[in-house]
Structure 1
C-alpha cells in the first residue's frame, strides 16, 4: 500500500466519523465500536484505523485514554494536575504569571476528621494573563507537618507548590475533584479585581499520597472565559 493510498483511507475514516459526531449520530458518552468492527466497516487495516482514531483524538472529537479522569484546560491547553498548573502553563507558552498572595499557618477544625489534622499552611495565589487580566485565584491547604509547617518562613521551592510537596516526600497517589460554578464573594472579587457576584468556575481537589496521607486540598476559582473542564473516558479502541 502506498503512503498516498494509506493517507486517503485514513482521511476517509476521519471525515466519516467526524461527520457522525457532528450530526449527533455518535453523541457525547457514546463508545465507538471496537477496532475490528470499525476496520471492517471502512474496509481499512487496523493500522490505518488507529491512525484515524489518533487524528480524531488530536482534534478533540474522541477520547481514547484509559479509565476515567478530568483535567482543566486553559485556552485549550491541558493542565495536568501532577506537575502543577504553574509549570503546565509555562510549558504551554501561555504567558500566565503566578502571584503569591499569602503563605501562612491556618487552623481549620472542621477539616480535622476528614484529613486527620486541623493545622494547615494556607497558600493563596492568583494568576494573571499576558494582558494583565486576573484569570484565577487558588487557595491551597497543606498539612503543617513533615517540614511543611516551616513554609511561611522558608517559602515555596522554586515558587511551586508541587515541587515543594515533592521535596518533602509527598507524591500524589489518589484523590477527588469537584467542579461547579458560583458567584464571587466580596473577598475573592477584590482579589480578582472583578465585581462581586461574577460567576467563576470553582474546582476543589483533594489529594492523598501513596500511603494514604493527606497531601493537599486546593480550591480554585477560574475565569470561564479561559478555563474549561475536559473529561476523557473509556479504554482505547
Structure 2
C-alpha cells in the first residue's frame, strides 16, 4: 500500500533530518517563512504547517516576531561543571559577556547560608549562542570576598573564567544544592536579555560548598526555556 505524504510533512521531515544531522546546528536561527517557502517552492500556509510539526516534535521553538530556533534537542548538560563546559561538551558554541564585577553586601544571603560575613563579590554575565546571537542565560554569581577575587573589581567587565578564578582562590566545589522554578522576568532583566518584561524564564539557584562546608559560590541563572529543559529521572 502506497503511503501518501502531504507537502508539509515532506518538508518537516527534510528539515528535521538537517537538524538531527547537524546541518542546521543547535542555536541556529532558521530563515523566515517567506524564505523557506521560496526555498521549498510552497505557500506560506504549507510552510507554517511544516514548522508547526517541527515545533510539536521539540526540534524548534518559535517566538512571535523573533523566528524559529533549533533547540538543544534534549541533550543532557552536566551543570556542576558550569554552563560553559556543559554546553561545549554538547557541541554548543556560546559567547560569554561579563556585565560587571563589584563588591556587594547581602545580609539575607549571608543569613540563609549561615555565614557571618555579608560581603560578596558579584559577577553578572550573559551567555549567547555564537550562531545566532540569541542570549540564552543571564547569570549572577556571588563569591566570597577574598583578596584574589576582590582584585577582579579593578579589571572592569573583561572576559573571565569563573572556574579558573575560583581555582586560583582555592575554592573547590564539593557538594551543594540547586533549586529551579519558572517565573516572569522584570523590566531590568528583560533589558539585559533583550526580551519583553513578563516573559517566562527558568530560574535556577545553586549553592556550592567545599568539603569542609565553607561557602564557595551562590549563582542564580535565568535560562531561556526555549533552549533549556528540566529532565527528571526516577525508578
Please indicate the TM-score interval, normalised by the length of the shorter structure: 0.5 to 0.7
| CA deviation string 1:197-219 (max 9, x = no partner) | 00001110011111111111110
Q: Is the 8 A contact 1:185 1:197 kept in 2?
A: yes
> Within 1, Cα distance between the matches of 2:158 and 2:89?
18
- Tell me the secondary structure at the aligned position of residue 80 of structure 2: coil
> Within 2, Cα distance between the matches of 1:170 and 1:189?
32
Structure 2 stretches lacking a partner, 5+ long:
1-70
> Within 2, Cα distance between the matches of 1:160 and 1:206?
18
Mark the CA change 1:193 to 1:225 in structure 2 (over 3 Å): closer, same or farther. Answer: same
2:88 is equivalent to residue 87 of structure 1: no
| CA deviation string 1:112-147 (max 9, x = no partner) | 223312101111111111211111111111110253
Structure 1 segments, 4+ long, off by >6 Å, are 155-158
Per-residue deviation at 1:233?
4.8
Mark the CA change 1:167 to 1:156 in structure 2 (over 3 Å): closer, same or farther. Answer: farther
> Within 1, Cα distance between the matches of 2:105 and 2:207?
17
Structure 1 stretches lacking a partner, 5+ long:
1-72
* Residue of structure 2 in register with 1:108 after alignment: 106
> Within 1, Cα distance between the matches of 2:72 and 2:170?
29
Q: Is the 8 A contact 1:84 1:160 kept in 2?
A: no
2:175 is equivalent to residue 167 of structure 1: no
Mark the CA change 1:157 to 1:99 in structure 2 (over 3 Å): closer, same or farther. Answer: closer
TM-score scaled by structure 1? 0.62
> Within 2, Cα distance between the matches of 1:88 and 1:160?
14
Q: Is the 8 A contact 2:100 2:124 kept in 1?
A: yes
Q: Is the 8 A contact 1:105 1:144 kept in 2?
A: yes
Tell me which of the two structures has the higher relative contact order, counting C-alpha pairs closer than 8 angstroms and 6 or more residues apart. Answer: 1
Mark the CA change 1:174 to 1:94 in structure 2 (over 3 Å): closer, same or farther. Answer: same
Per-residue deviation at 1:76?
2.7
Mark the CA change 1:75 to 1:108 in structure 2 (over 3 Å): closer, same or farther. Answer: farther
> Within 2, Cα distance between the matches of 1:74 and 1:151?
33
| CA deviation string 1:52-81 (max 9, x = no partner) | xxxxxxxxxxxxxxxxxxxxx954333323
Q: For 1:1-237, what aligned pairs fall within 5 Å after superposition?
A: 74-115=72-113, 116=115, 117-129=117-129, 130-145=131-146, 147-154=148-155, 159-233=160-234
Q: How many residue pairs were aligned?
A: 162
> Within 1, Cα distance between the matches of 2:171 and 2:156?
17
Q: Is the 8 A contact 1:75 1:227 kept in 2?
A: no
